[in-house]
Amino acid sequence: MPAIPYKNLDGYQPKELLEAIAARRGPGGVINLDKMLLHSAPFTEGWNTFFGKVRGSLSLDNRLREMATCAVASLNGADYEFFQHKPHWLKAGGTDAQVGALKDVDAAAADQKNFDAAERAVLQLAIEMTRNVKVTAATLAAARKALPGDQQLVELIGVIASVNMVARFVVATGVEIES
């Protein structure tokens, strides 16, 4: 049960905001996260614009973006977020074995069977940013080596930071997986 009731969308205003969310979400339409966010139209508008760019405009490889997202969700106990992003990760090239391995992100970051060096570097970065905020020089160097350039490194750091915000929001508000 959510900690705050979902916003009733019957007659929701501003209608344009609801339409923008539905357009960004595509065929699935408005989800429980949106129904929680819509308690504040300004917050929702900023969130929708920001995450539209994070999900659709970065040069960072989609597979690494979605893997980092699922790792952060797992580290934070944000089952809702993991559930939402797992299909995107699989579509981008993640495997069922990798999905299963993320039940223990620390072990996954050392798992040479299921994760290549770049993926392990991304996982270690996600672990350190999520748990410690501060990242070691060695971890940052490994992530830099794993990516084509500093643009992708900055984007990855931004994705991990952003996803931590989402995780904290969905856990604190009790957003539930759609039934």
Domain boundaries, the chain: 15-56, 62-173
- Per DSSP, helices labelled H in the chain are 15-25, 32-37, 41-56, 62-76, 79-91, 96-101, 105-109, 117-131, 137-146, 150-173
**Do residues 157 and 103 lie in contact, with contact meaning Cβ atoms separated by under 8 Å?**
no
Q: Is 19 exposed, middle or buried (CB count within 10 Å of its CB: 0-12, 13-18, 19+)?
A: exposed
User: HSE on the CB side for 25, CA within 13 Å?
Assistant: 18
Assigned superfamily of 62-173: AhpD-like (1.20.1290.10)
Full pLDDT tens readout for the chain, 179 residues: 999 999 999 999 999 999 999 988 888 889 999 999 999 999 999 999 999 999 999 999 999 999 999 999 999 999 999 999 999 999 999 999 999 999 999 999 999 999 999 999 999 999 999 999 999 999 999 999 999 999 999 999 999 999 999 999 999 999 999 98
102: Cα separation from own chain's centroid: 14
Residues constituting the chain: 179
**Do residues 105 and 71 lie in contact, with contact meaning Cβ atoms separated by under 8 Å?**
yes
Phi, psi of 11 (to 5 degrees): 70, 20
Query: 3-state DSSP call for residue 33?
Result: helix
